Chains A and B, each alone.
Chain A
Amino acid sequence: MLRVVQEIIYEVTGKQGLTLDTDFVKDLELNSLDVMNIVCAFEERFDVTIPTRDVWKLKQVRDVLAYMSAHGIV
């Protein structure tokens, strides 16, 4: 799952070397538009809709994996 997340973020932003602790804003310096693009990529890849109110809770890569697991997104 980590590899999938890494792939999507690389496709959208060109950023590599993500770990579970990678913070999207502090470490990758992503801005809001980057996040929106990533959300769209995730939603398209997994055919899901992520409520906007949930997006800002996902601050690190580990948060994304936990969210995917909790919502049955594979």
Chain B
Amino acid sequence: MASSESATLLIVRPPCGQEEIVRRARLYAVEYGVPGDCSRVKKTALGKPYFPDMPALRLSVSHSDGLWALALSQSEIGVDLQAVRPCQREAVARRFFHPEEARYIASGPEDRFFAVWTAKESYVKYTGEGITDGFREFSVVQDGRMRDFLHGARLRFVPTLPGYFLCLCGGEEALSIEISGLPSSENKA
């Protein structure tokens, strides 16, 4: 793993249960000397998962079409993974996205929808607020291009497998990422 004290560990693999989250968290905690007990995972009222007995370790989880992503970090983190597949892109964008995002999506290829979606989802997972009425009040698009930062949080797309988008949202520490689980991704990002 990375030597950075604040490295984010990103695991992408076939779906599994909470036992795997705990197992991975234990390995991370040992590697980075994070105090506490990560055997319990709970969720806030807004659905954000956390380790009640290991508050220094944060996590975010996402799943889509046969893949599962887990991000572990010692700073606040949000991850969203989404397979590119048929969906009501225009209806969803019109209904749930900021107008600038909807215009950006309408003026380009379909991949733009999934880039915007995963960026927005990762951000609201990072903040812990989840998808609320405020989801359309912020824009991950500015001046016709995807933002790299939103309200001080970094938005970073991480290559995974063809046909999937994955966005990670966090502080500057989120730039130091170890990726595990993909066929050719045992490397730093």
Contacts and interface: CB of A to CB of B under 8 A. Distances in A.
B132 A37 contact: no
Given A29-B63, A33-B82, A52 B96 contact: yes
Contacts of B133: 51-53
Query: Counting chain B CB atoms within 10 Å of each CB, which of A32, A40, A43, A44 scores highest?
Result: A32
A31 B63 contact: yes
Interface residues of B, number: 19
B149 interface: no
A40 B88 contact: yes
Interface in B105-131: 117, 121, 130-131
B64 A31 contact: yes
B87 interface: yes
Interface range, A side = 10 to 19
B89 to A, nearest CB: 9
Nearest to A39: B95
B18 to A, nearest CB: 12
A40 B91 CA distance: 6
A20 to B, nearest CB: 23
